[in-house]
Amino acid sequence: MSNHHEEEKSYDYIYYLVALVCGLFTGGIVDKGFIWIPVGGVLGLLTAAFFLNVLVKGRGEKA
């Protein structure tokens, strides 16, 4: 009988990766110049960080 606690894998990187790709794509679609592509990527990463830290705050709590 073991009392080991298995750690659950964190898949937060998927949210960041999807947000980065979508932000880069959106920045490219804006068509105002190449400077908007990295700006879109940064805004996508900030949106993912907000989503994970504020909107999904209680997902790890067990009842």
**Rounded to whole angstroms, how far apart are CA atoms 20 and 61?**
27
**Rounded to whole angstroms, how far apart are CA atoms 45 and 62?**
28
- Cβ atoms 34, 2 nearer than 8 A: no
Write down the pLDDT at residue 28.
Answer: 85
The tens digit of pLDDT for each residue in 10-59 reads 778 888 899 889 888 888 888 778 888 888 889 899 988 888 888 777 66
Write down the pLDDT at residue 60.
Answer: 63
